[in-house]
Chain A
């Protein structure tokens, strides 16, 4: 089955710096790669996702890149702000809407210091 590894487990940056979180997956049939942000005491929420037919996707200060050959994908946050502090989870799944097994990484705790 799918296995998703995520690094680093914790990441501390200064406000304004960039942050990069990396994930690798094992199932070459996986074709959907979302990223979730979980603030303290709240539920995880989707911030960006990418499908296997795309190499990069951007949404304002966040971007995700995908390397299918190497089976890894990364989250990039530029100009970090204190409100970016949270736990970030990557995930991978195969299949489309009718059958979707979504497997998560172990999470990265991002701390942005003012």
Chain B
């Protein structure tokens, strides 16, 4: 079974904190993605990566950055968390079919 694992299921952070969301996949996939899921807005692409150290902005990259130092790991960074970044964050990896992690529900207070 393909596994995409996100480091935390639930996180509560304070405004202004630097937040790291980690994602690891075990299938040697080249493509990895970070989405945020909000009611009525679907899955919006934040960043994606098609190779180690390669990254591309998605549709809503503002306030986020990413890191992919190793093929299996893709990290999402909130440089200075704000309340409007409270959301469900989903990581995915793909060869053709995309496999999702279990999600991280982040609350910024």
Please give the residue numbers on chain A whose beta carbons come within 8 Å of chain B beta carbons, in ascending order.
1, 6, 9, 32, 34, 36, 43-46, 49, 89, 91, 96-107
Q: Give Cα A98 to B35, complex, Å.
A: 19
Chain A residue with the shortest CB-CB distance to B98: A102
Inter-subunit contact A106/B97 (CB<8 Å):
no
Inter-subunit contact B43/A43 (CB<8 Å):
no
Chain B residue with the shortest CB-CB distance to A46: B97
Q: A1-B59, A44-B100 are in contact. Are A97 and B95 (CB under 8 A)?
A: yes
Q: From DSSP, what is the main secondary structure of chain A's interface residues? A: loop
Inter-subunit contact B43/A89 (CB<8 Å):
yes
Contact sample, A vs B, 29 pairs, CB 8 Å cutoff: A1-B59, A6-B42, A43-B100, A43-B103, A44-B43, A44-B100, A46-B98, A89-B42, A89-B43, A91-B98, A96-B96, A97-B31, A98-B30, A98-B50, A98-B51, A100-B31, A101-B45, A102-B33, A102-B45, A102-B92, A102-B94, A102-B98, A103-B45, A103-B59, A104-B42, A104-B44, A105-B42, A106-B41, A107-B42
Set of chain B residues within 8 Å of A91, measured between Cβ atoms: 98
Known: A101-B56, A104-B44. 8 other contacts (CB 8 A): A43-B102, A43-B103, A49-B96, A99-B31, A100-B50, A100-B94, A102-B92, A106-B41
Q: From DSSP, what is the main secondary structure of chain B's interface residues? A: strand
Q: Is B90 interfacial (CB 8 A cutoff)? A: yes
Within 8 A of A (CB), among B1-60: 30-31, 33, 35, 40-45, 48, 50-51, 56, 58-59
Inter-subunit contact A43/B101 (CB<8 Å):
yes
Binary per-residue interface labels of chain B (45-87) against chain A in the complex, 1 for a CB within 8 Å, 0 otherwise: 1001011000010110000000000000000000000000000
Chain B residue with the shortest CB-CB distance to A51: B96
Chain A residue with the shortest CB-CB distance to B45: A103
Inter-subunit contact A106/B95 (CB<8 Å):
no
User: What is the minimal beta-carbon distance from A101 to any residue of chain B, in angstroms?
Assistant: 6
Inter-subunit contact B30/A106 (CB<8 Å):
no
User: What is the minimal beta-carbon distance from B96 to any residue of chain A, in angstroms?
Assistant: 6
Inter-subunit contact B90/A43 (CB<8 Å):
yes
Chain B residue with the shortest CB-CB distance to A4: B42
